[in-house]
Chains A and B, each alone.
Chain A
């Protein structure tokens, strides 16, 4: 049994153990166990379905990227910072567009932060201090199973000794599994997050609202929630995709940040997104420290420009704006809207990933990679921005994402200079 750091979700649990020989683990949740378990792999690098060497596949991939007018380089949430860095440099060299999984996940939160900033805190602060925890449009029991026990609900902290010291509220449109662990479940109508947050802002300020109910929630229930929030000593809203993927998107988050700013006039509150992939934070932070932006970054003019309306992957594909695509540790063919995937079928696609998925089915060049956290090491950002170094537990025949992308970058530089 070796100490490991889990590379499934944004919790990046650093207290787990796994034995690659017996395939048994300790402290891993169902998602973590599935992550570490052996499964079907992409066996060899391939070009147009024919098995080739790593060198040949990389050569072909570089040829596609260099000859494309506007390649889209997408993915990055399930690899390490070192690989992402080479990805950003590669995008700049080929004058392409860098976008990452957050653009169909938590990027609306990034837009809200640009407008309002974020009153945030670490998971450690929540564990030790938070006496009120609200999960809004997030379902940790199915998406981040150990979040409640490690940080937010049952976690024993310095000031918060046990579950009884905490009030837990779940706000959602359906009664999720997470609703069962809450003291209070507030069921709202789909698409009414913004209106409900506005009502809470008014009520917290001591103003009345004219409506008897907002988004399916009676005024009295909202007034009670506003009062409970004001009387908490340290509160946190953990918001999920229920907020970012429904009507209002970035404006929902912006409004929620304003509510938190208001509550900070009375007491201490923070707000934080429940980030999905183990290094989706890195997929935004690395380009931010390299070129200033988190996603939707175009290098076609030789310098970085940010515009999600133009340079996010879905918009690029819907407008048929890109003529080649590199997909790293992601599966847009499964996770993008149908019409966006249609364009992927018409352009050359290069995939770097450990596992065969729907994107593999339409890729011209497939380059298998080592699984970070099991076969390769590197630095990743936990959902609250804490950097952890994931471990290599076993040797593998597969190249790491870092090595593959470094090789690609070297050959691109040679070709462009030559």
Chain B
């Protein structure tokens, strides 16, 4: 397990599939987490492995991949997976903190939920 700062944001694949949220392509575009190469090795991860990301606001299982992020920072594309763990406090602005939330990342055998399972509806 490592301590991280979680950020979320747009990607081109998230944008291309944003009007097809119930599709496999959207699922693939938003259900992963980019981790710095050194952190990735430290967690004993290989391609296709899953990680559990936890913050005081929730937890989520996503696929892990190496990305261009600094050590100690992970990136999850904006969408329902990132939103399980980002900060819902708005400090009176109405804006949740979608970027810069402290949490932990650990390797897990649990599977990644579909968007329907995530929402908890049929």
Binding site for B on A (CB under 8 A): 8-9, 30-31, 34-35, 39-40, 99, 103-104, 107-108, 111, 139, 141-143, 145, 173-177, 187, 189-191, 241-242, 244-247, 249-250, 276, 295-296, 308-309, 311-315, 318, 331, 333-341, 345, 354-358, 361-362
Contacts and interface: CB of A to CB of B under 8 A. Distances in A.
B23 A40 contact: yes
A338 B84 contact: yes
11 contacts: A103-B94, A143-B15, A245-B99, A249-B95, A309-B90, A312-B95, A314-B94, A331-B21, A339-B58, A356-B22, A357-B22
B80 A358 contact: yes
B83 A335 contact: yes
Contacts of A39: 19-20
A72 to B, nearest CB: 12
A244 B96 CA distance: 10
B113 interface: no
B73 interface: yes
Nearest to A331: B21
A116 B101 CA distance: 28
Given A241-B98, A345-B121, A139 B10 contact: yes
10 nearest interchain CB pairs?
A312-B94, A337-B88, A308-B94, A309-B92, A190-B100, A245-B98, A246-B99, A357-B21, A34-B16, A175-B68
A247 B90 contact: no
A139 B14 CA distance: 13
Contacts of A354: 19
A159 to B, nearest CB: 31
B20 A246 contact: no
B15 A31 contact: yes
Nearest to A216: B70
A254 B9 CA distance: 22
A337 B57 contact: yes
A104 B95 CA distance: 5
Chain B residues touching A, range: 35 or more
Given A34-B15, A174-B75, A242 B87 contact: no
Given A357-B21, A361-B119, A173 B16 contact: no
B94 A315 contact: yes
B46 to A, nearest CB: 22
B73 A334 contact: no
A197 B94 CA distance: 23
A313 B88 CA distance: 12
A308 to B, nearest CB: 4
B80 to A, nearest CB: 5
Contacts of A190: 5, 7, 73, 99-100
A171 to B, nearest CB: 14
Contact of A312 (B8, B90, B115): B90
A30 B31 CA distance: 20
B116 A361 contact: yes
B70 A142 contact: no
B11 to A, nearest CB: 6
A173 B84 CA distance: 22
Given A141-B12, A187-B70, A244-B95, 8 more contacts: A30-B16, A31-B12, A242-B99, A245-B99, A312-B95, A335-B83, A338-B83, A354-B19
Nearest to B11: A142
Contact of A242 (B9, B67, B92): B9
Contacts of A295: 94
B120 interface: yes
B79 interface: yes
B93 A246 contact: no
B9 A362 contact: no
A81 to B, nearest CB: 21
